[in-house]
Every structure is written in C-alpha cells, then in structure tokens.
Structure 1
Amino acid sequence: MDEVEVVVAHSERATLRVGDVFLKVDADQARIDAEVEAMALVPVPTPEVLWRKPPVLAIAAVPGTVLGRLGEPSTASPAVWAAVGAAIRKLHDTPLPPRLGRARGLDELAAELDVECELLVTNGVLPADLVTRNREVAEAALRPWTPAFTHGDLQIVHVFVDGDEVSGIIDWSEAGPGDPLYDLATLTLGHEEHLDDVVAGYGTDVDLDVIRAWWSLRSLLAIRWLTEHGFDPTAPGCEVDVLKSRM
C-alpha cells in the first residue's frame, strides 16, 4: 500500500497524498464545487478529477515539478517563468465564470487591511513602522480594476512545470472574479527577481507598482492567518521578509 502523506492540514481543509492521488477534504462543499467548476472552464492544464464523495475530492497528480517554493531560490529558467506568465494571460482572457464567487469590494478590502494592521501592531507581531510603511505601499492596490477570471491563490507551489512548459496549475478553490494583478503578485511573492520574465510572457501593460502593492497587502493580510494555522510567516524569504524589503 502507498504511504499516506499529509500535504497540508488545518482547521479549514486538509490534503492527503496516496501515490499519484490527492484527496482534498473540505467541509465547505461550495468551495469544492467552485474548484471543480473552475478546473473545467480554464484553458490551462489542471489536475484530472477522479471522483467526488463529499466532503472528499480525489484528483490525479499533475506531471512535472513545482515552479519553486517561497523562501527558496527557484531554479526555473527565464523561459519557464515567461511561459507561466503566458498561461496566466490565457486564464485572465477567459470569460468570467457565471457562478464562481465575487470580487471583494475596495471598501471591504481596505477595512480588512486596517483591522489586520492594527492587530499586528497591538499584539506586538510586527514593529509599527514596518506595518505603517507597508500599509502605505499597499494603498496603490486599492484602486478600481476590471475583474478577470483569476486563480485567486496562485502561489508558486501551485504551478507545475515540465521542461519549458506549464504542466499543471492546482488548488482552484479561490477561483473567481478578481484583480488580475493579484494573481501575478501572488505568483511572484518573494521572487521579485522573476517578475520581469513573468510580465514578458504575460504580454500586456502591467503596473509594477500595483504588483508591489499587492505583495505588501497580501502579506499584511496573511500573517495572522498563517500563524494561527501552523505556518511560519517569519521563515527566510516569506511574508515578513517581503514586508521588510519594502522599507
């Protein structure tokens, strides 16, 4: 029998691997439904859905290796990063899904950011000047945008490559209408040196200041959640280091 590997587990969901099969356990059936629907709609490689039996979704492993990991140098070539950018452009050019969630409003996002910044300072998680500076940087992301079909959680470990091609993009549970620059920022978080290659492949005008703003905004919003769910945002190259790089 294949060994059972716990890929990720926290109070919201868990993912297990048994051989070449991933079992995603999620008590939120709507999130699983959205993930399956998104994978059926997007023009990029995604995992094959093997079966569903709520609350479990079974998907096949995608070929290739991850593009990289947060906190570690990526060995992928500029051509590979450009290919990823081109794949993301295909996704963003896809017609908006009719039923997949909604984009957060600017007022809602700004209010959430204010709450998280206050908690980070009040609880002594981060120095006030670090939070204040990044809150200022994040302001550039809080502007009107045209919603696109976005992945919504396009972390570098969710992108697989084989040779110079994208072989699979996984974890579509957050897919739906959103700011396309958020996807680009999430992908390059902690890997700023590859941003130009991604943009070259993406092939359209991109406001780099907005991407940098999303790096700050995403990091500020994520730190408390990561800590409460057993992750370490202070690890080298991760969210706290991303914030420090804006100083």
Structure 2
Amino acid sequence: MDEVEVVVAHSERATLRVGDVFLKVDGDRARAGVEARAMALAPVPTPEVLWHRPPVLAIAALPGRALAQLGRPSTASPAAWAAAGAAIRTLHDAPLPPWPGRSADDLAAALDVECAWLVADGVLPRDLVARNRRIAEAALRPWTPVFVHGDLQPSHVFVEGERVTGVIDWSEAARGDALFDLALLTLGHREHLGDVLAGYGTGPDLDRDVIRGWWVLRSLLTVRWLAEHGFDPAAPGCEIDVLRARL
C-alpha cells in the first residue's frame, strides 16, 4: 500500500503524494485552472496531467531532483543551473498566455501595504525596510511582458545531471517581467546568477540591478504571507536574510 505524504498544506491549498502521483487541492478553482492551462501551453518539460476535476489536479511525479531548496546550499552543478536558465529562455520566447499578470502599479500598491505592516508590527526595523524599499523600486519600471512561470523557485525546477526534466507549480503563470523569473530562481542562491544568465543568453534588458530589485521586492511582499501560512521567513537563507544581505 502506498503511503499518503503531505507535501505542503495551508489554508489556500494542499499537495499530497501517493506513490508516483501528486494530488493538488486548491481552494481557488480559477488558479488551479491556470496551472493546467499553463502546463499545456509551456514549451518546456512539465509533469504529465493525469486528470483535472476541480478543485483537484492530479499530476505524475517527475524524474530527477529539485535544483535547490531556499535556505540550503545547492548541490546542483553550474551546468544544471545554466540548463535551467536555457529552459527559462525557451519559456520567455514562447507566445504570451491569454490571461494577464500583475502590473507594476499593482505591485507598488502591495509594496506600500506590506512595508507599512513590517514596520507597524515590529517585524523589521524602519531603516532596514526603507533601504530595501529603495532597492525594490528598481523592479517597478515598464517591462515588455513575456510568458512567466510566476513562482519559479529552484525547488520547482527538476534536473537530472545537466538536464532539466521538468518544471512544477504553474498556478502563478501569466504575462509578466522576464527578470522576475530569473530573480526568483536565484533568490537565496545569488552565487548561481551568473550560471543562470549564461544559459539564458544575452539581451538588452538583462539588468542585474533590476534582478536585485526583484529579490528584495519579492521578499518584502511575502514575509507576512509566509508567517501567516505556517512558514518561517526568518529561517537561515530565506526572505529576511535576503533583506538583511542587501545592506
């Protein structure tokens, strides 16, 4: 008999593993639908969708292992990180998905709210938040939208040797800024940014200051959500460490 493993669970969604099958249960049916549609459109390896009966999506397990975990050193080779960069470039060069993403104005409004909360609740010192806020603003500029994964943590990219075997968790996929995907992949693994960019290739918009801005912006926006959903943003190498490292 296969055991049921709880991979992740919080008030918005849960993922269970039974043998080689993952069952994703999402309280937001629209978000689950986006995930299934995005995997069908993405020109990179994704898990096989076994069936989709909202609010449950069943997908097959991928071969290989995650590129890295936030807060832990990566054991993947520089070539594996470069392969991830090449896969992202393939995604970004694909036709846009038919649904929109968040705008810079939306993100700026959310940033106002979260920075105020971080200070009011004493989570971080006022000067630390203010300095990071200035760094984050580099990301809030006009961009040419591309097909972004939207939650491209290194734990969502599976590799086998120097080959990407698949990318999981597409519920945030949309039209967005290419540099956001690159930033999130290397959040907490800044030493691999050069490897990722080597695989991604050159371009006029590959501004490292903007990528740094996204590292900070993402961290500022997610501290409260993580804390409220049972995660620890203050764990070594995670979001609060990223914010302190920017200084």
TM tier relative to shorter chain: over 0.9
Q: Which residue of 2 aligns with 1:96?
A: 96
2-side partners of 1:170 and 1:17: how far apart?
14
5 Å matches for 1:57-72? 57-72=57-72
1-side partners of 2:40 and 2:227: how far apart?
33
Q: Which residue of 2 aligns with 1:184?
A: 182
1-side partners of 2:207 and 2:245: how far apart?
19
Residue 128 of structure 1, aligned match among 126, 148, 152: 126
2-side partners of 1:188 and 1:215: how far apart?
8
Q: Could you list the runs of 5+ residues in structure 2 that have no partner in the other structure?
A: none
Percent identical among aligned pairs is 73
Q: Which residue of 1 aligns with 2:15?
A: 15
Bigger mean CA deviation after superposition, 174-183 or 29-38: 29-38
2-side partners of 1:218 and 1:122: how far apart?
19
2-side partners of 1:106 and 1:222: how far apart?
16
Measured after TM superposition, the shift of residue 188 of structure 1 is 0.2
Residue 162 (structure 2) pairs with residue 164 (structure 1): yes
Measured after TM superposition, the shift of residue 105 of structure 1 is 2.1
Q: Secondary structure at the match of 1:32?
A: helix
Which amino acid counterpart does residue 69 of structure 2 have in structure 1? R
Q: Which residue of 1 aligns with 2:143?
A: 145
Q: Secondary structure at the match of 1:209?
A: helix
Q: Which residue of 2 aligns with 1:200?
A: 198
Measured after TM superposition, the shift of residue 94 of structure 1 is 0.3
Q: TM-score, normalised by structure 1?
A: 0.98
2-side partners of 1:108 and 1:149: how far apart?
18
Measured after TM superposition, the shift of residue 97 of structure 1 is 1.2
2-side partners of 1:237 and 1:21: how far apart?
30
Displacement over 2 Å in runs of 4+: none
- The RMSD of aligned alpha carbons is 0.7
Which amino acid counterpart does residue 164 of structure 1 have in structure 2? E
Q: Which residue of 1 aligns with 2:43?
A: 43
Which amino acid counterpart does residue 67 of structure 1 have in structure 2? L
2-side partners of 1:105 and 1:55: how far apart?
27
Aligned residues between the structures: 245
5 Å matches for 1:206-217? 206-217=206-217
Q: Which residue of 1 aligns with 2:242?
A: 242
2-side partners of 1:79 and 1:53: how far apart?
38
Q: Secondary structure at the match of 1:168?
A: strand
Measured after TM superposition, the shift of residue 61 of structure 1 is 0.4
Q: Could you list the runs of 5+ residues in structure 1 that have no partner in the other structure?
A: none
Q: Deviation string for 1:12-43 (max 9, x for gaps)?
A: 11000011100000122111111111111111
Measured after TM superposition, the shift of residue 204 of structure 1 is 1.8
1-side partners of 2:138 and 2:167: how far apart?
28
Q: Deviation string for 1:219-243 (max 9, x for gaps)?
A: 0000000000000000000000000
Q: Which residue of 2 aligns with 1:154?
A: 152
Measured after TM superposition, the shift of residue 103 of structure 1 is 2.2
Q: Secondary structure at the match of 1:115?
A: helix
